Structure 1
Amino acid sequence: MAEAELGLRFQRRFLAARQLRSFPWPELEQNLRTAPDSSLLVDILQKTLLHPLCVKYPPSTKYRRCFLTELIKKHESTAAEPLDELYDALADILNEEESTRCYKNYLLPTGECVTLSESVAIISGGTTGLVTWDAALHLAEWAIENSAVFRNRTVLELGSGIGFTGIAVCKTCDPKAYIFSDYHPCVLKQLTENIRLNGFVLEPETTRHIQTQPRGQKAEATNSPNPKLRVAELDWGSVTEKRLLDLQPDVIVAADVVYDPEITLALTGMLQKLSTFRADRKPPEVYIAFTVRNPDTYQLFQAELDKVGIGWQIIPAHSNSIFVYDVQPNVTILQLFI
């Protein structure tokens, strides 16, 4: 039982391409010392590199090579017989070309998974929006625990990046409609690809400005027609009140959008626009998650909210830890009252 559990811990980290130092290597060594047969390593290999998700949507070549090298090292340290399966897998990877794109697969409590195509580089095409940040994972965990906030409602996500939070919410929280939004063209293109990759169909009128999947590449099998999904290009600095009114969100979410003073001011200005046109309808609920990297930026955001009369409160930490992190992040979720 402990061995099966160890295999699953390796699996969750490997499919999501977490840093190798976060893996339970000491437990693996302990197990290999007490029971030097190869069944545990074969099990880990089946749950990671040979897992159908990895075969179809693999992490980067370099990542898989480093993982396998570490696994072989642990095996060799036990002085056991060489394990052909490990060396065969390594030979396959060594023959592969490096790619600038990779996949990450995040397992959900429902048994489903969020698959994302990401850029290998943290900054790519002049934007940080082509990778998934910890605040997005944290916000998704909170959403899954508080799914009633989203059920049968229209959700607008600001700064969707490549789509992790929104896809997780659409797969677990039953929203009526979900509007993904961002500004950078490369991010919008990648976001559109990832939504389709996860089996969703976009409302047709919203993708006309966005170059979609390469010709000949099929989308995955589609989910039910609900929720209605859209991708919107949204520039916070110049968006009009009318455009925001047309979106008609019941709930607004955003992850890791408070990291730069200029962006913070544009965000606050847009939230202010959202608060001015609501004569006949209830204001949307707003939840913003961010990693506190620089306390000054965080305090500036709170000061700007106070200045324009937007109330805020810190949401208590949620109890469930669904996704694995390289390092436990310092993420705060604020609820705003506009």
Structure 2
Amino acid sequence: MQGGGARQEAPRMEEQPKGPEPHEEEEEEAGIGKLAFRFQRGFLAAQRLPHFPWADLEKTLKTSKDSSSLLTILQETVLHPLCLKYPPSVKYRRCFLSELIKKHEATGAEPLDQIYESLGDVLNAEETAQFYKSYLLPSGEAITLGESVAIISQGTTGLMTWDAGLYLAEWALENPAIFTNRSILELGSGIGLTGLAICKACHPSKYTFSDHHPCVLQQLLENIHLNGFAPDVCGCSPAKWDTQKAELTGFKGPKVSVTELDWSLVTKEELVGLSSDVVIAADVVYDPELMHALIRVLQKLPSGPDGKKAPEVYIAFTIRNPDTYHCFQTELDKVGIRWQAVPCSQKNIFPYDPHAKITLLRLFI
């Protein structure tokens, strides 16, 4: 016979809130890592601030419980070793940090001391006439360039990188076979982004950078040296460079040279002497006078009948004025140079303006 006492239930344990599963933490870390890389790539290249993935950052900050994601982005941008050694302009870093702080404060999270310390350092820094941009290659290697703060500096636009140069470099990285083990001549190299990308990633046998403005040539030489190349200098010998030029011990890479090339004076014999398999240029079709000088140079390139094989020619440019673009095509037709638009997959390896209308033409000399 059972007792008539009341039945006692086992005490109920309070349910503890479940933390994220291990795989969820890994996915979150991977997501933050990818976001940080997008910020890093854009920041080191001084990408325009509106083009950063701010919406994705806001979403991450709202869902995370601490400031670790923002600290990761800070470490991969403003505190990155490349930035500390070769910083973007003071104004750019200040605006970038201000935007980061604005996004962080909007979440109501605890202040992040490191970001305010970084802003304080930038506010106390002096702006200089020159700053640096670093472009990350798919291999992880970087191309670092000294550039001018002003769009027009010392009477030239050649002291900064333009979108068409980034576009052409990206296309070259997607089509390395065109450049591998071949001799390349670049017309209007500017400060060297396109050529340095090809030299580092496409393995040409020889690469000739060329330009005409003395200040551009000086900056070009310094950037080539900054990226680990010791170029031969032809036709231009800035005094400052004479003290810097030195062969790099154990360096294995293409033979690199820099030549001063005045499009209005260069001869056919000089161009033949450069012995180029491929000729490229970027953002050199924006002024009618410059356009006609370029076409005269193209006409002097080896064209085949004299036994010298005609080089492959590729010209990239941003279409700012459709009339200028059509005029260039018309002038090419007049002198019998055929042209063909070259498609590009636009993976955006480099952070150029996604809205810019850029085209690449292959010319048949």
TM normalised by structure 1 equals: 0.95
Query: Paired residue for 2:32?
Result: 3
Query: Paired residue for 2:60?
Result: 31
Query: Paired residue for 1:268?
Result: 295
2:121 is equivalent to residue 95 of structure 1: no
Contact 2:230 2:245 in 1 (8 A): no
Residues 210 and 8 (structure 1 numbering): CA distance in 2 closer, same or farther, change over 3 Å? same
Residues 277 and 270 (structure 1 numbering): CA distance in 2 closer, same or farther, change over 3 Å? farther
Please state how far the C-alpha of 1:329 moved relative to its aligned partner: 2.0
Aligned pairs for 1:288-307 (under 5 A) are: 288-307=315-334
Residues 109 and 271 (structure 1 numbering): CA distance in 2 closer, same or farther, change over 3 Å? same
Q: Distance in 2 between matches of 1:188 and 1:80?
A: 49
| 1:222-265 per-position Cα deviation (integer Å, ceiling 9, x unaligned) | 77343011111111111111111111111000001110111111
Alignment length (residue pairs): 336
Q: Distance in 2 between matches of 1:120 and 1:153?
A: 35
Contact 1:136 1:165 in 2 (8 A): yes
2:213 is equivalent to residue 196 of structure 1: no
Percent identity, please.
60
2:349 is equivalent to residue 325 of structure 1: no
Q: Distance in 2 between matches of 1:269 and 1:27?
A: 49
State the Cα RMSD in Å. 1.9
Counterpart among 106, 118, 124 of residue 135 in structure 2: 106
Please state how far the C-alpha of 1:318 moved relative to its aligned partner: 2.7
Q: Which runs of 5+ in 2 are unaligned?
A: 1-29
TM normalised by structure 2 equals: 0.88
Please state how far the C-alpha of 1:116 moved relative to its aligned partner: 0.6
Q: Distance in 2 between matches of 1:226 and 1:278?
A: 33
Aligned pairs for 1:1-338 (under 5 A) are: 1-203=30-232, 205-206=233-234, 209-213=237-241, 224-275=251-302, 279-338=306-365
Query: Paired residue for 2:8?
Result: none
Structure showing greater radius of gyration is: 2
Q: Distance in 1 between matches of 2:44 and 2:290?
A: 32
| 1:20-39 per-position Cα deviation (integer Å, ceiling 9, x unaligned) | 11111111112112224110
Contact 1:199 1:220 in 2 (8 A): no
Please state how far the C-alpha of 1:275 moved relative to its aligned partner: 4.1
Q: Distance in 2 between matches of 1:296 and 1:275?
A: 29
Please state how far the C-alpha of 1:129 moved relative to its aligned partner: 0.5
Match of 1:318, SS?
coil
| 1:189-248 per-position Cα deviation (integer Å, ceiling 9, x unaligned) | 000000001011112x52752344596x79897773430111111111111111111111
Contact 2:302 2:308 in 1 (8 A): no
Residues 326 and 336 (structure 1 numbering): CA distance in 2 closer, same or farther, change over 3 Å? closer
Residues 41 and 223 (structure 1 numbering): CA distance in 2 closer, same or farther, change over 3 Å? farther
AA in 1 matched with 2:50: R
Match of 1:129, SS?
coil
Q: Distance in 2 between matches of 1:201 and 1:265?
A: 33
AA in 2 matched with 1:254: A
Contact 1:236 1:267 in 2 (8 A): yes
Please state how far the C-alpha of 1:128 moved relative to its aligned partner: 0.6
Q: Distance in 1 between matches of 2:81 and 2:350?
A: 20
Query: Paired residue for 2:24?
Result: none
Q: Which runs of 5+ in 1 are unaligned?
A: none
